[in-house]
Homo-oligomer: A and B are copies of this chain.
Amino acid sequence: MKKEALKKIITKIFKKHNLSLLHSKICADALINAELVGSPSHGLSRLKMYCDRIKKKLINPNPKIKIKNISKSVCHIDADDSIGFVAADVAIKKAISITRKAGIGFVAVKNSGHYGLSGYYAEKAAKKNLIAICFTNAPPAIAPYGSKKKLFGTNPICFAAPTSSKIPFVLDTSMSMINRGKIRIAAKLGKKIPYGTALDKFGNITTNAEKALSGVQLPIAGYRGSGLAWMVDILSGVITGSNHGGKVRDPFDDFNGPQNVGHLFILMKPNLFINNYNKRIKENIKKVKSLSKIKNGNDIFFPGQNKFKRLRQNSNKKIKIPSNILKDINILLK
């Protein structure tokens, strides 16, 4: 399906679920972007879940989002159980606006939900010539180092910076060896997951996606990744007033209440301390990209470059929609 047609359909679905036209479009854009950049685990495969949670009143389709200005550079947002896309859209816009004035900006969000790809928001800041660091927590997926029970979410660390070219530097890296959405898709398609990325519920390594979903994902780099996931839980959960310590609800199978995900956006002007950022970042990237490559290796890319390439390649192509998701879409439209 062409992206314009798909956008109309998704917008219509969210409107049918009582979101405003503006909010429906924000959600449609985020979901379609995930498909175009090659992250379907954060795209249409989640559409039914969002609608289910709206129907069950766990996502508020008409949130009264409260924005509390704490200082020139600091703002706290209560998203009122809004869908994550809308909460994050409000937050990143606010963060961009205060940072353009004050040079730095801290925006925390509570009572939000899963917002899709962190890189999608960080990139918006980089396109406005700002540097962004974003943290969000997520439902339990990773076992803390030393435990066989999951507690931390995939808790990404996301960083974006302008590069003085059309393509911003966008690093968006989960603290999990494998993305939970990818396990879910593998389970749906009956495919295996790579060895060494997850344990079953008994603590044994498994390549069975179904078993991994009821088990735990392994953190990157052992205690290092476990510590980083914990840091993200403190920064996006503990200090923002959101759920934390394993209490963020799984949007797919926990219908006992809203998710109450937390986000933290830290932004700054790239020329906060210097006056020749563009020249310096260009030199930096050029230096890394010109290094000698490993044997038979690809070109050296900076984070975000591959995603940008995929986005450009896919933007004029039809988006392929798996039959089960197409079925969901037809039901949701009724």
The residues of A with any CB-CB pair to B shorter than 8 Å are 70-71, 73-74, 76, 102-104, 106, 108, 110, 131, 143-149, 151, 157, 159, 161, 169, 171, 173-174, 177, 203, 220-221, 223-225, 227-228, 230-231, 233-235, 237-241, 244-246, 266, 268, 270, 272-274, 277, 280-281, 283-284, 287-288, 291-295, 297-303
In the complex, A291→B295 CA distance in Å?
44
Cβ–Cβ contact B277 & A171, under 8 A: no
Q: Which of B147, B174, B288 touches A300 (beta carbons < 8 Å)?
A: B147
Nearest B-chain residue to A303, judged by Cβ:
B227
Chain B residues, Cβ within 8 Å of A144? 288, 291, 300
Bound form: Cα–Cα A280–B301 in Å: 40
Supposing A234-B284, A238-B280 touch, asked if A227 and B147 sit within 8 A by C-beta, the answer is no
CB closest chain-B residue, reference A144 = B288
- Cβ–Cβ contact A300 & B146, under 8 A: yes
Q: Which residues of B contact A71 (CB under 8 A)?
A: 102-104
For residue A288, which residues in chain B have a CB less than 8 angstroms away from its CB?
A: 144, 147, 151, 230, 245-246
Instruction: Give the one of A238, A274, A298 with max B CB within 10 A.
Output: A238
Complex interface: chain B residues within 8 A of A281 (CB): 234, 238
> Considering the chains assembled together, what is the distance between the CA atoms of A293 and B144 in angstroms?
9
Q: Which of A110, A299, A303 has the most CB of B within 10 A?
A: A303
Chain B residues with CB below 8 A from A149, complex form: 291-292
The 5 closest A-B pairs by CB, nearest first: A220-B221, A245-B287, A147-B291, A171-B227, A245-B284
Question: Is A239 touching B270 in the complex (CB atoms < 8 A)?
Answer: yes
CB distance from A138 to the nearest CB of B (A): 15
Q: In the complex, A273 Cα to B76 Cα: how many Å?
A: 6
A272, B239: Cβ atoms closer than 8 Å? yes
Instruction: Decide: B230 and A171 in contact? CB cutoff 8 A.
Output: yes
What is the chain B residue whose CB lies nearest that of A75?
A: B273
CB distance from A58 to the nearest CB of B (A): 23
Residue pair B291, A239 in contact (C-beta under 8 Å): no
Contacts of A147 in B (CB 8 A): 288, 291-294, 297, 300
Q: List 7 A-B contacts (CB under 8 A).
A: A131-B235, A173-B228, A220-B221, A220-B224, A239-B280, A244-B284, A245-B288
Specify which chain B residues have a CB less than 8 angstroms from the CB of A231 in the assembled complex: 159, 171
Beyond A151-B287, A239-B274, 20 extra complex contacts between A and B, CB < 8 Å:
A71-B102, A73-B104, A106-B272, A144-B288, A144-B291, A144-B300, A146-B294, A148-B292, A148-B293, A157-B228, A159-B234, A169-B230, A203-B295, A230-B302, A233-B284, A239-B273, A239-B280, A240-B273, A240-B274, A245-B288
